[in-house]
Structures are given as structure tokens and as C-alpha cells.
């Protein structure tokens, strides 16, 4: 690939959940290709600040918001735009995964986990996207949503996670149509298990062999594969991807 065609110089990006995991990889790659990045973290700023300080280029920022607090979520694009001087790219990456009690057991906890997961994984990205639209429309920008293979095959131990990611897919497709005339592209990526600092303990445990067995090649998804897909999606070189839900699961689930 000719990486010079993926130059993001002058572009300004907000990446949610950027202090670790997939968000960290995405933020680093966008910065390496010229973007100024606002790294979002929930509350503790130090890890995100450390990443921002070591990104190539200048003008990066750190913004905090608890996405379970929907008022904070809605305010996030404006805060990022104020720090960067505008906004061209939004990557809704932040999300939570929590195993839930079996149906019929501990309904109070089941409901609490359901409501929190839907708030963070679906309602917050919806509000963030809606709030970002007036900013993105100034430069015909991009929204990228990070979904999951679980949206298609189900998540029996975490049904709220599967439901939230399925909803995120539909949200992205709906917004792609609604925002097309405003020049805003909306793309969704749906990875399977990705090897990051957040999943490393799982993959190193006895459960890791069962996880890898889901993949015909025996390897989970490389986080750089996802980051490069996001970069292509926002590069202006593949705008026909708007409305797409892109599977990144190494043939572990075909549909």
C-alpha cells in the first residue's frame, strides 16, 4: 500500500477509549499519518497523557468523560474540538464487556449490567455522533464505530454486549444514509478477539487455547490490522465504504 496516499495532515480526530487497547493503536496510527488526536479516557488522565506526549507531531490533547454519564458523553465532541481547533474524524471505540448472571438469577444485577452496557456501548456513541455532526459537516468528516463479531453470532455470557454492538451496527448504517448529503461518511468495523493489553491475560490463560481454536489460522486478530482499516476508512481513498460493516475476524465467523 502506498502510505503517502493516506496522509491525514491537518485532520483532527477524537478517539474514545484511547488510553489502552484498540483505541491506543488507532490513535497512534492516525498521528503517525499526520492527524492531531484528542485521546479520550474515562477519568484517570495519566496513561492517555503519556501516550499523547509521545505521539508524533504536535497539538494532541487528552479529554476525559465517563461515558456512562450521558451528559458527559454528549459534551465530548465539543471539548475535543475546542482542544484541537475543530473536528474531522470521530472514532467511537470505547466500550465495556461484562459477563452477566444467567437469565432468572439476580435480576437486579442483570438489569444494572444491561443498562450500563447499553449506555456506554450504544447510547453514548449515538449521542457523541449526534453532537459531532455540526463539527464534522464543516469539513465533510468521518465517523467510525468499533463494533464486534458478537453482534452477529451472539454473546451468551454477555447478552447486553451483543445487543449493544448489534445496535451500533444499525446506528452506523442509519447515520450513513441520513448524513450522506452532508458529506459525512459513517463506517463500522466489527473485529473478533484482538490481541491487546486488555485481552492478553485472557489469551494467556487456559481459556486462551479455546479462543484461538475459533480461528482457522490459530491466531487472533492483530490490532494493527484494525487500526489500518480505520485509517483507510478516514483517508478519503475509500469513501464508498460509508454504510459498510467490515468484518475483521480472520475467518472465525462468516456470514
Segment 138-148 shows an average pLDDT of 95
What separation in angstroms does the CA of 151 have from each of 64, 160, 228?
A: 27, 10, 22
Exposed / middle / buried, residue 148 (Cβ in 10 Å: 0-12, 13-18, 19+): buried
Look at the block and give the residue holding cell 456512562. Answer: 68
Catalytic residue status for 142 = no
Give pLDDT tens digits for 78-131.
999 999 999 999 999 999 999 999 988 999 999 999 999 999 999 999 999 999
The answer to whether the beta carbons of residues 196 and 230 sit under 8 Å apart is no
Which CATH number is associated with domain 3-248? 3.40.50.720
C-alpha 86/C-alpha 90 separation (Å) is 11
Domain boundaries, the chain: 3-248
Checking if the pLDDT of 57 tops 60, the result is yes
Cell of 252: 472465525
C-alpha 164/C-alpha 168 separation (Å) is 6
DSSP state of 224: H
C-alpha 251/C-alpha 255 separation (Å) is 10
Checking if the pLDDT of 54 tops 90, the result is yes
Checking if the pLDDT of 8 tops 80, the result is yes
pLDDT at 142: 98
Q: Which of 63, 62, 75, 66 is nearest to 131 (CA)?
A: 75
Q: pLDDT > 70: what percent of the chain?
A: 98
pLDDT at 201: 83
Among 142, 161, 202, 253, the active-site one is 161
Checking if the pLDDT of 241 tops 70, the result is yes
Q: Which helix (H) or strand (E) holds 247?
A: strand 245-248
Segment 156-176 shows an average pLDDT of 97
C-alpha 48/C-alpha 222 separation (Å) is 21
Q: Which helix (H) or strand (E) holds 207?
A: helix 207-212
Checking if the pLDDT of 4 tops 60, the result is no
pLDDT at 20: 92
Count other Cβ atoms within 10 Å, centred on residue 72.
Answer: 17
| Residue 161 dihedral angles phi and psi, to the nearest 5° | -65, -50
The answer to whether the beta carbons of residues 9 and 36 sit under 8 Å apart is no
pLDDT at 2: 47
Segment 159-182 shows an average pLDDT of 98
Q: Which helix (H) or strand (E) holds 185?
A: strand 185-191
The answer to whether the beta carbons of residues 237 and 1 sit under 8 Å apart is no
Amino acid at each position: 500500500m502506498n502510505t503517502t496516499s493516506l496522509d491525514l495532515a491537518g485532520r483532527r480526530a477524537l478517539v474514545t477509549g484511547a488510553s489502552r487497547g484498540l483505541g491506543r493503536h488507532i490513535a497512534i496510527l492516525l498521528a503517525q499519518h499526520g492527524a492531531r488526536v484528542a485521546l479520550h479516557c474515562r477519568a484517570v488522565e495519566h496513561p492517555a497523557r503519556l501516550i499523547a506526549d509521545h505521539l508524533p507531531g504536535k497539538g494532541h490533547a487528552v479529554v476525559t468523560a465517563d461515558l456512562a454519564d450521558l451528559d458527559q458523553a454528549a459534551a465530548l465532541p465539543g471539548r475535543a474540538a475546542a482542544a484541537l481547533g475543530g473536528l474531522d474524524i470521530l472514532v467511537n471505540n470505547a466500550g465495556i464487556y461484562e459477563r452477566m448472571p444467567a437469565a432468572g438469577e439476580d435480576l437486579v444485577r442483570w438489569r444494572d449490567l444491561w443498562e450500563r452496557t447499553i449506555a456506554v456501548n450504544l447510547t453514548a456513541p449515538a449521542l457523541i455522533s449526534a453532537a459531532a455532526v455540526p463539527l464534522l459537516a464543516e469539513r465533510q468528516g468521518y465517523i467510525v464505530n468499533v463494533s464486534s463479531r458478537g453482534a452477529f453470532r451472539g454473546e451468551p455470557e454477555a447478552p447486553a454486549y451483543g445487543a449493544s454492538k448489534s445496535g451500533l451496527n444499525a446506528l452506523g448504517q442509519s447515520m450513513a444514509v441520513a448524513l450522506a448529503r452532508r458529506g459525512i461518511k459513517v463506517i463500522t468495523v466489527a473485529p473478533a478477539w484482538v490481541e491487546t493489553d486488555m485481552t492478553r491475560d485472557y489469551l494467556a490463560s487456559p481459556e486462551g487455547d479455546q479462543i484461538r481454536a475459533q480461528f482457522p489460522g490459530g491466531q487472533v486478530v492483530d490490532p494493527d490490522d484494525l487500526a489500518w482499516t480505520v485509517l483507510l476508512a478516514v483517508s478519503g481513498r475509500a469513501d464508498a465504504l460509508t454504510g459498510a460493516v467490515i468484518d475483521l475476524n480472520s475467518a472465525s465467523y462468516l456470514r
